[in-house]
Amino acid sequence: MMITLGIESSCDETSVAILRGGAVLSSVTHSQGEHALYGGVVPEVASRAHLEKIDGLARRAMDGCGITPEKINLIAVTDSPGLAGALLVGVSFALGMHTAYGIPVTGVNHLEGHICSLFIDRGDDIKPPFLVLLASGGHTAIYKYVSSGNCALLGRTVDDAAGEAFDKVGKLLGFRYPAGRMIEAEAAKFAEESTQGKREKINFPVARFSSPEKSLCFSFSGLKTAVKNFISANSENYINDNRPAVCEAFQRTVVRSLADNLEEAANLTGIKTVAVAGGVACNGYLRGELKRRFGADNVIVPPPSLCTDNGAMIAMAGYMMYESNRLRFPKMDPGRGI
Ligand code: KG4
Ligand code: ZN
């Protein structure tokens, strides 16, 4: 069975994983804490941190499952899209192993990697076609997945990504970067408070596009501004007291936008199975809402560790590219989508 080593370094996670076929043998990830100081990812800081960690992570991934370089059949590395200097670290490391050990190497598109995370450790129990909502810190889009290499973009954000909106609103409310998980936890407190009859719901508006060609697109920058205006229109004491209500309202609004568009995509395409991928797919409220709307059996959700950036999804994408004859030499292309 094919052994694939996957390398991810496109943003602020350095991650290396080893797969046998579509099953994870080992996976190690280092999330860069440095960026919390600045409230967002600083590209130069990211590149240096990747460079410091990647060698040790690759060693740990191999030691963790007793695989030596000679046993690796394919190296898969993210080469697009992402931060140029950050991608360069992973690609250079992959090319170093390729040259030193003669192991075949393929470049992988990061977004395809997120989508392929759906297939990890699941054997054949996922049957395309299905719709994928990819919602991360850098991207938010809906795709129609038909087969490896056949994936159509149906709609995407015209401004901020959903995760970016969580992070920016988190910053306004005083949370550390990345703020998605903390906003979710804070929003959950609101449910407790409101059952005790203590709190009223806040409502924020969400953008919808009326033109048919943009009906599946998203826009989150207006929502961020609405939260910002709400914060400046109220006293510091009020906001401190009502932070869970603000988080709940913001999260509910983002999730409604994501779920509405996914539901519309399902109506337009007639496809009833939906999947979520990317960091925002960790969000329990989003998962619950999709299960409520589409039925639990029709929603595919990877475990949280496979939603945020990881090397296993890149290895899986590389393995699936191999199976469909689509291997390609890495080519740095920081801006390329799918
Ligand atoms: O996929 P990912 O690790 O990196 C990118 O490719 O961007 O996604 C990171 C994003 C961050 O914006 C983070 O705030 C968000 O995913 N995120 C969440 C949750 N966990 C992570 N957003 C909402 N709720 C969560 N539980
Ligand atoms: Zn990502």
Look at residue 197 in the predicted model and tell me its pLDDT: 64
* Ligand 1, pocket-test mutation among 181, 289, 313, 314, most atoms within 8 A of CB: 181
- Report the C-alpha gap between 313 and 85 in whole angstroms: 21
Ligand nearest to the CA of 179: 1
- Report the C-alpha gap between 66 and 74 in whole angstroms: 16
* Ligand 1, pocket-test mutation among 308, 309, 313, 338, most atoms within 8 A of CB: 308
Look at residue 277 in the predicted model and tell me its pLDDT: 98
Tell me the CA–centroid distance for residue 170 and ligand 1, in Å.
Answer: 12
Question: Which residues line the pocket of ligand 1, CB cutoff 6 A?
Answer: 11, 136-138, 163-164, 166-167, 178-181, 184, 278-280, 282-283, 308-309
Tell me the CA–centroid distance for residue 114 and ligand 2, in Å.
Answer: 6
Ligand nearest to the CA of 163: 1
CB neighbours (10 Å) of residue 77? Answer: 30
Residue ID of nearest Cα to ligand 1 atom 8: 279
Look at residue 68 in the predicted model and tell me its pLDDT: 98
For residue 170, the ligand 1 atom closest to its alpha carbon is 14
For residue 161, the ligand 1 atom closest to its alpha carbon is 12
Query: Which ranges of the chain would DSSP assign to H, the alpha helix?
Result: 43-65, 84-101, 110-116, 162-172, 180-195, 221-233, 236-241, 243-269, 284-294, 304-307, 311-323
Tell me the CA–centroid distance for residue 115 and ligand 2, in Å.
Answer: 10
Look at residue 38 in the predicted model and tell me its pLDDT: 87
Look at residue 272 in the predicted model and tell me its pLDDT: 96
Ligand nearest to the CA of 12: 1
* Ligand 1, pocket-test mutation among 282, 305, 306, most atoms within 8 A of CB: 282
- Residue 58: is it exposed, middle or buried by C-beta count within 10 angstroms (0-12/13-18/19+)? buried
Tell me the CA–centroid distance for residue 128 and ligand 2, in Å.
Answer: 22
Look at residue 195 in the predicted model and tell me its pLDDT: 67
Residue ID of nearest Cα to ligand 1 atom 14: 180
Taking only the tens place, the pLDDT of each residue in 309-320 is 999 999 999 999
Instruction: Assign residue 39 a region (left: φ > 0; alpha: ψ between -120 and 50; beta: otherwise).
Output: left
- Report the C-alpha gap between 66 and 191 in whole angstroms: 47
For residue 308, the ligand 1 atom closest to its alpha carbon is 3
Residues 19-55 as b/e (b if ≥16 CB within 10 A, e otherwise) read: bbebebbbbbbbebeebeeebebbeebbbbbbbebbe
Taking only the tens place, the pLDDT of each residue in 16-74 is 999 999 999 999 999 999 998 888 899 999 999 999 999 999 999 999 999 999 999 99
Look at residue 289 in the predicted model and tell me its pLDDT: 98
Ligand nearest to the CA of 306: 1
Low-confidence spans in the chain with pLDDT less than 70: 195-198
